[in-house]
Homo-oligomer: A and B are copies of this chain.
Amino acid sequence: MKASIEFFFDPISPFSYLATTRIDELASRHGRNVIWRPTLVGVTVTKVMGLKPVPETPLKSTYFARDAQRLAQIFGVPLRRHGLKNVNSLAACRAFLWVQERDDASARRLVRHLSARLWVDGIDITPRETVVAEAASLGIEVGDLSSEEVKHKLAAAVDYAIRKNVFGVPFFVADDEPFWGCDRMWMLDYWLATGRLPSFDDLLCRLFQD
C-alpha cells in the first residue's frame, strides 16, 4: 500500500480550481490515494505571512491573472476571471469538511463543483445559502455551516496547513516532498513515477521531441 498524497486546496484560488480537475486522476495512475485538505489561503497570506493578497499586489496580479488563463488552456478547462469582490471560502471549506466525514467522494465532488462555479460561472460562493443550494443541486447535504463543531474543524485544518508550511494553493505533499502550484504537477507526476527529480536536460529533451 503506497502512502497517500496530501492535496491542500482553497476554492478561492484559480490555481486550486485547476488542480481539482486533475489531481485524483494523476494520483490514481500511480496507485496513490489523495487526502484532500482545505485551507484558507487568505488567512495564511495576510495573518501568518504578513503579505497582501495576490490580486491586490501590483505587477504580480497582472501576471497571475494571465498565467491562470494560460494554465487553464494547458489543463484543457474553461476559466473566466470573475469581477467579484471579497469572496471567501469559509462556507465552502466548512461544507467540504462536514461532507468529507460522511462521504469523501461527495466532498471532493462538491469542491470541484464549487471551484468551477466560481472560476467558470462567476458565482459568488461566499454566502452559506449559496453553498447549501449548490450542494443540494448535486444531491449533497452539508449540515449546519455555522455550528461550532464545523468552525473548529476548519480552524484546525488551517492550523494544520500552516504547520505544513502551506503558504499557497494548490500545494501537494508526497513522501514528505512538497510541491507548490498547479504548474508543478509535472514534477509531482515525475516524483510519483520515479521517486526522484528529473534532470533539466531530460525535461527539455522530452518536451522538445515535438
- Which A residues lie at the B interface, using CB under 8 A? 22, 26, 44, 48-52, 57-60, 62-63, 66-67, 70, 73-76, 162, 165-168, 178, 180, 183-187, 189-190, 193-194, 197-204, 206-210
Contacts and interface: CB of A to CB of B under 8 A. Distances in A.
A193 B208 contact: yes
Interface majority SS (helix, strand, loop, mixed), chain A: helix
A72 to B, nearest CB: 10
A167 B207 contact: no
Contacts of A200: 22, 74-76, 185
A210 B44 CA distance: 37
B70 A60 contact: no
14 contacts: A49-B57, A49-B60, A51-B52, A51-B57, A63-B178, A67-B180, A74-B199, A75-B200, A76-B199, A183-B183, A185-B204, A186-B207, A189-B204, A202-B210
Contacts of A73: 197
A162 B59 CA distance: 8
A185 B204 CA distance: 8
Contacts of A201: 76
Given A48-B58, A51-B52, A167-B59, A206 B209 contact: yes
A190 B167 contact: no
Nearest to A180: B63
